[in-house]
Amino acid sequence: MLSNAVEKANQISEHKDRRSALEEPAIILTTAGMLNGGPVLGYITELNKNSSILLTGYQVEGTNGRMLLDTGEVIIRNNRVKVDVPVKFYDFSAHAGRADLYRYVKGSNPKVVICVHGDPNNVSDFAESLKLEGFEAYAPKIGETINIDMN
């Protein structure tokens, strides 16, 4: 059961403890689902031959995760690194699809919708579709400021 696994899990909270996590068989759950940063980059280069990498969500073009799936390589500290362990992909998306997002917006009927996560073209298209449905919707570009009247 998942609760038993959680009880037996060792949390790695300090950088110096990461190496010890690889000294014996382990399952390492780490951040950076697309492998572009975080602790995962340190683990990738230290995995032993009995290890595997399991990617559980969509890997966007241009990310290390997509590169790993397509080429078996990642970029770490500006160097291309060959990953010598099996890589497996499971489509366990943590994101809602467009139809789910529409249902949520329509059901919650917000005053303003700010679309900020996803492929920029899809985000803009979604905001435009919401505008056609009568919602005040925005798809800001990175660095763009939007002023919202909270009254």
> What is the pLDDT at residue 78?
94
Q: What domains appear along the chain, each with residue ranges and CATH number?
A: 2-89 (3.40.50.10890), 98-138 (no CATH)
Per run of 10 residues, the mean pLDDT along the chain (length 151 residues) is 74 78 76 82 86 86 94 95 92 80 94 90 95 95 85 70
> What is the pLDDT at residue 118?
82
Write the secondary structure of the chain as one string of H (helix), E (strand) and C (coil). Answer: CHHHHHHHCCCCCCHHHHHHHCCCCCCCCCCCCCCCCCCHHHHHCCCCCCCCEEECCCCCCCCHHHHHHHHCEEEECCEEEECCCCEEECCCCCCCCHHHHHHHHHHHCCCEEECCCCCHHHHHHHHHHHHHCCCEEECCCCCCCCCCCCC
> What is the pLDDT at residue 125?
96
What is the pTM for the complete model shown?
0.61
